[in-house]
């Protein structure tokens, strides 16, 4: 098994932390992992992305040009990464801020209204966990038990009380993802 993922959006959407939680979850599942961010301006609200690789075997390049999955959270990233999904791959996007829907026919395309879902469960901060849930529904590469362990590893202990809400957000995301 080898899954190469790009997660892309604006700084502040939780792109990097979503990737981190996915990476931690992969680690809990005894996978090899790499997490390679675009770094620098992202903390100032610019576009940002992170490449996450989860694999049974040693990972060579942490930097890729094509991906098995693209998780897209803004239009700039859609323009940049739609073409980079390998044939037969997966593209998941949050419809908010997307003005041009993807047009590829050779990949699986799923959408989610993550802002709406997060608002409904009363936890806007867990927006990125909703998106993560949508992804895990389509590609259950890590178990939810390991995601919980991953959350524990990636969050400082003082934030552990937020883990149940994060899990709820993941479950809501799983329920709300729609294939186009």
Partner 1 sequence: MGDKVLMKGNEALAYGAIDCGADGYFGYPITPQSEVMETLMKEMPWETTGMVVLQAESETASINMVYGGACTGKKCMTSTSSPGISLMCEGLSYLAGAELPCVVVDVVRGGPGLGTIQPGQGDYFQMVKGGGHGDYHTVVLSPASVQDMYDFVGLGFKLAFKYLTPCIILGDGVIGQMMEKVQLRDKTPRWTEEEIKKISPWACTGKKGRKRNVITSLALDPSVMEETNLRLQARYRKMEKEDVMFENYKTEDADYLFVAYGCMSRIGETAVDMAREKGIKVGLLRPITLFPFPTAEIDRLVPQLKSIMSIELSSGQMVEDVRLAVNGRVPVGFYGRMGGSVPSPEEILNALMNFIK
Q: How far is the CB of 9 from partner 1 (least distance, A)?
A: 18
Toward partner 1, which CB reaches closer, 155 or 177? 155
Toward partner 1, which CB reaches closer, 34 or 47? 34
Q: How far is the CB of 125 from partner 1 (least distance, A)?
A: 22
Enter the tokens of residue 172: 């809501």
Instruction: Give yes or no for a contact between 154 and 32, defined as CB atoms under 8 angstroms apart.
Output: no
Q: How far is the CB of 26 from partner 1 (least distance, A)?
A: 9
Toward partner 1, which CB reaches closer, 62 or 164? 62
- Strands 2-10 and 67-72: what pairing? parallel
Look at the alpha carbons of 35, 39, 45, 48 in this order and tell me if their dihedral is positive or negative: negative
Q: How far is the CB of 67 from partner 1 (least distance, A)?
A: 11
CA–CA gap between residue 83 and residue 55 (Å, rounded) = 23
CA–CA gap between residue 72 and residue 115 (Å, rounded) = 14
CA–CA gap between residue 138 and residue 178 (Å, rounded) = 10
CA–CA gap between residue 13 and residue 74 (Å, rounded) = 10
Toward partner 1, which CB reaches closer, 29 or 176? 29
Q: How far is the CB of 61 from partner 1 (least distance, A)?
A: 4
Enter the tokens of residue 94: 């949050």
Question: Which residues are near partner 1 by CB under 8 A?
Answer: 20, 23-24, 27, 32-37, 39-40, 59-66, 153-154
Toward partner 1, which CB reaches closer, 132 or 177? 132
């Amino acid at each position: 098994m080898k899954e190469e993922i790009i997660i892309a959006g604006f700084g502040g959407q939780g792109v990097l932390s979503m990737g981190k939680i996915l990476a931690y979850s992969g680690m809990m599942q005894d996978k090899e992992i790499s997490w390679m961010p675009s770094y620098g301006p992202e903390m100032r609200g610019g576009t940002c992305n992170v490449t996450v690789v989860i694999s049974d075997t040693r990972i060579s390049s942490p930097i890729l040009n094509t991906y098995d999955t693209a998780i897209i959270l803004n239009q700039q990233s859609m323009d940049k990464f739609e073409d980079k999904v390998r044939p037969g791959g997966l593209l998941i996007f949050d419809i908010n801020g997307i003005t041009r829907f993807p047009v590829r026919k050779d990949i699986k395309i799923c959408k989610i209204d993550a802002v709406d879902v997060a608002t409904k469960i009363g936890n806007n901060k867990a927006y990125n966990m909703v998106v993560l849930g949508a992804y895990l529904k389509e590609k259950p590469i890590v178990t939810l038990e390991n995601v919980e362990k991953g959350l524990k590893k990636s969050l400082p202990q003082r934030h552990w009380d937020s883990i149940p809400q994060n899990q709820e957000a993941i479950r809501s995301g799983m329920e709300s993802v729609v294939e186009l």
